Structure 1
């Protein structure tokens, strides 16, 4: 099959790149893995497994030995590097057949993989290791393409496999990954010599080749053939989901409704742990959730283990019409709370029915995937990446159901089989090896004035402690520059004006669509005007009041609306100034606005405590290096007030505090962090971050 004829997969092999690594088989295997993993139609993040076998010098005998290099436990082929693979003696791995005692002892074999290690820097070998090791091929791909899982999950999967590929593909029934499945693959090959791959019932695909390139091409061709077969079936049979019975709202209305509803869903999902959300109204999602067959297929759950491990055994379908008025929070909460209670109860029954004496304790019983016909799909997980990936996996599951229904009929794994994967002790051990969550994990922080200076420093600090951050600022150019400093799935930016309530509303809307809600709001946007009374204009007064005071008021008002939807409490931190406490010359407009910020914070703390919403203030002083307000007339005004030059200001401010310390934006960020992460029983407080200014002491 020529490159130009691929319709359902992307041919990404680049000979110029491979030329540079032509003498390194492992590097070529990693390259193949990365390009395969970059196509979500072929395999999702963390899904699939690839390998190659090379001849190496045994460091103990100096003899040539065959070594298998395979993706390690918990890795992702799309981002796989040498540090993420395991290197094992192939002959030792195959010798484990001599000690294998059968399926009841499957888990014991995993510990023995470590006795087969060749490369002492290896990642922990995964449960799929024997599936690669017991096959003789030099290069092997184990993938989870939608089209292949559709074939694997079809009611008559073995018959369909024969129909598509004839005698060139093998087929094995569902078996939990492990040594037994490796033996089944070995036997399938022995019974069907010359085949190009094997379909694993309800699971996925194995393909191979003598070189990395031929393995890659074999994988693409097999996937292409299955995809074409399914599309032909769909063309013949028409709509495979029984037709659309719900009509989607227009795009903007969908997003508006999703943004309003997301915090409510987030709160309902947080009965055990706070969650981060993700929303999509992808056409594939809408096609499924608006269909007649949604109510039949959704409860069946997903088939491929990689899917349901990330999406849970089944989604929650909301019993809301697209035209539902979601603005009445209490009414919507009353409608949805019983559905969440029922979902948790069903999950607990699933656990109790399927558990055994060695099963780990039940995990969070809340749904991961939530479907709203006519609107879209929400997913909630411990962080943004996990929520996004769960969403991607469920789209893959939709594709699988679509394909299997077109072929014949979709089948899912029996609940006991699914449970045995979900609560597998080896899976639990993988979870236990995960790094400890950071202090602000599962929280979303919105920071105004975050394009630079103090606001950016605050965003940096909160993100470094695990929070997702929403950066907003008047300058989009500064935001674009700022956002480049964050890892994927950590931050978004929204250009906004804190003097405009509609602009603020849009910022919150984007935060809810991106992350499901908000937990921390930091008002750091500001400007400074230093003039004597007679030179202070109405314009000066109004802009200071609008940005510092009115902006703070509107931010808090809209934040509280979201906090009350979530029922999780929340934090508001306002960046004021020493100048709100200390009387000084040439400062009537700025000092008055800062004092208003401080007292508004106290008033809100008193009002909102019953909702577990904490409102506090950080008072900077003399933050010259890196602070935006020192750009322009403010510095000139303060210098004149103190009878010094602008150039002398940094030294002047550093020397006048009790600690004789220069105050940086990062110091203010630390003050904010202490309030939202450490002082969790503090509200109505002011923290001075000024090196010690006696005349600014609060008491």
Structure 2
């Protein structure tokens, strides 16, 4: 039925919710938010008005349920909604002092709360409250905004919908805009016209209906009509192609090579995480003749603008550090001038002047933000902004928000207050961790600790099944944006370089390396084969060398410093029987730590060692005969090993994978930023292993 939007309404699911208008409103919201052509993550708002019993008087009263501040309709739950008395909300007109005072109205929304567990009401609350309709959708569809952001948008809207979609010119969301929507509706009614929606200039679309389903269908139909109209007018896109894209393989290679460099530039104020997209819509725009004209204009919709900044940075063909340095300097100067020319006496201090969106013709789009989700969402919003520009240019000409209006959105005191309420960043926020052998055991525990403390993690292992299980677990715990996976063989240089390429494409680079992948073989000298020896040294020593080498190359491009933590062993320092291969390989790992610490100090790359001992729980080290070999060396059974290891420690404690994870975090969590070349024993206290 629809070509440009997806009809996701399921009659059976809706029937199961019949009689519960709030649940139906949330269902409608979720399926609208599932289609990025309709609205982006966090964009738009939805509401329902219903009759409920006033808990104070017992009488029936009208209540509006609406998405709360900072929420997302695609993932909305009842706990993310605000519920308000409609009559109280509308009575705020009695104390409204005019446009210059409208921000003060937001605090007054709290006096209208019906459900005491409500989320804070959003700035869109009066826009829904002053309209009389039971179900309302306020969305940011690409096709509708393309018309709203075009020079002739008002006339096109009138002609396209025969006057049944009203028009309200650009104004920042707030109390006064709600009054304008009401006035638009009443003016049309005075002419005998019953509107089915209102277009907001440069902003978005309002639609409504008597039931949740009618509202949903009305929304889809209006968006579909806008998209059909744009498609019918589209001929040459963005003035035609100025250049062709590189092949997919070349794009990935060039993006991975450049991402750490860009991340370094963008992290001059706050350490950022990156996202890369070479979506066909992005390539069409960045390769076009109109790129240089349209890119500096920035976006139009406030939700787009808030996440993508005033304008993107466009790269030239020369992406050397020497060429990029003045480009970034010029961007920062431009942003500073924009701030100085638009600021008010009470404006918040200037924020990070670096670009969020970076366009690389022929290759793709990079976005950088404080975390991966924000970077990804910024890319989605700019892709939608590209769709808007394409549509507006097809039917008329694109117009962006005036600089002052853009500034007043970006530095809105209400937005600043929202930023100030955000939780304090975790210790590893903005950092990317690569833990070898993290499909299970100690490696997975370390990666989990890093993710818990705010880092993005690249899980890797040689065991594909184990890695898939770990990925599913991490996504369940931390969400899809925090974790990436790659098969990696630490003994193979090509495999490791490919893994680092993946890290650069997924997150923009890497900051924390934990060389954890290992194997153990316990045999007497005459039983120890050359193959055993080579296997131990390939995985433990060569693997640590190859991973560190590849990571250091990325870290130096970023110029942000970093951490390498090598998981070694008490056996690097304590001699024991039947351990010549493993113990000597561990000793080589320990000394490599010291050698790299001495070399990498000028780069502010810290290199430290964690020395575990007898980590039995959930550890692969006990596979392959190691447990049997150690039991034989000590003259005990395998079943007696855990108690034996615990008893020989000064603390009489068993060592767990989480203990090793905590030690790694101690080195990288920020409190030991001036420590390098050190070793931390996590063995319960083995006197023979004390470092001298």
TM-score higher than 0.5: yes
TM-score of Structure 1 vs Structure 2, range by shorter chain: over 0.9
- 1:55 match: secondary structure: strand
* 1:27 match: 23
**Is contact 2:157-2:163 (8 Å) kept?**
no
* 2:200 match: 200
**Does residue 693 of the first structure (1) align with residue 686 of the second (2)?**
yes
Q: CA deviation at 1:19?
A: 1.4
| Equivalent residue for 2:416, pick from 398, 413, 428 | 428
* 1:553 match: 545
* 2:511 match: 519
* 2:330 match: 342
* 2:655 match: 663
* 1:534 match: 526
* 2:187 match: 191
Stretches of structure 2 that go unaligned for 5 or more consecutive residues are none
- Map 1:87-486; keep pairs closer than 5 Å: 87-193=83-189, 194-234=194-234, 238-320=235-317, 332-486=320-474
Q: CA deviation at 1:360?
A: 0.5
Q: Distance in 2 between matches of 1:251 and 1:563?
A: 25
- Alignment deviations for residues 625-669 of structure 1 (CA, whole Å, 9 cap, x no partner): 111111230011000000011111111111111000010000000
* 2:611 match: 619
- 1:522 match: secondary structure: strand
**Is contact 2:25-2:48 (8 Å) kept?**
yes
- 1:571 match: secondary structure: strand
* 1:329 match: none
- Map 1:629-640; keep pairs closer than 5 Å: 629-640=621-632
- Alignment deviations for residues 467-499 of structure 1 (CA, whole Å, 9 cap, x no partner): 000011111111000011122201111001000
- 2:473 match: secondary structure: coil
* 1:8 match: 4
* 2:572 match: 580
- Alignment deviations for residues 477-526 of structure 1 (CA, whole Å, 9 cap, x no partner): 11000011122201111001000000000000000000000000001000
- 1:430 match: secondary structure: helix
- 1:517 match: secondary structure: coil
* 1:44 match: 40
Q: Distance in 2 between matches of 1:187 and 1:640?
A: 88
How many residue pairs get matched?
683
**Does residue 81 of the first structure (1) align with residue 69 of the second (2)?**
no
Q: Distance in 1 between matches of 2:653 and 2:275?
A: 43
**Is contact 2:274-2:506 (8 Å) kept?**
yes
RMSD: 0.7
Q: Distance in 2 between matches of 1:192 and 1:480?
A: 58
Q: Distance in 1 between matches of 2:168 and 2:269?
A: 40
Q: Distance in 1 between matches of 2:90 and 2:562?
A: 56
- Alignment deviations for residues 305-351 of structure 1 (CA, whole Å, 9 cap, x no partner): 0001000010000012xxx6x6xxxxx11110110010011001000
Q: Distance in 1 between matches of 2:85 and 2:459?
A: 50
User: What is the TM-score with the length of structure 1 in the denominator?
Assistant: 0.97
Q: CA deviation at 1:240?
A: 2.6
Q: Distance in 1 between matches of 2:610 and 2:429?
A: 22
Q: Distance in 2 between matches of 1:576 and 1:428?
A: 47
Moved over 4 A (4+): none
- Alignment deviations for residues 270-305 of structure 1 (CA, whole Å, 9 cap, x no partner): 110110000010000000000000000000000000
Q: Distance in 2 between matches of 1:614 and 1:204?
A: 49
- 2:161 match: secondary structure: helix
Q: CA deviation at 1:226?
A: 0.1
- 2:614 match: secondary structure: coil
Q: Distance in 2 between matches of 1:669 and 1:180?
A: 54
Q: Distance in 1 between matches of 2:581 and 2:349?
A: 60
Q: Distance in 2 between matches of 1:582 and 1:89?
A: 73
**Does residue 654 of the first structure (1) align with residue 646 of the second (2)?**
yes
Q: Distance in 2 between matches of 1:433 and 1:10?
A: 36
Q: Distance in 1 between matches of 2:536 and 2:46?
A: 60
* 1:55 match: 51
* 2:673 match: 680
Stretches of structure 1 that go unaligned for 5 or more consecutive residues are 327-331
Q: CA deviation at 1:672?
A: 0.3
Q: Distance in 2 between matches of 1:14 and 1:434?
A: 36
* 1:69 match: 65
Q: CA deviation at 1:101?
A: 1.3
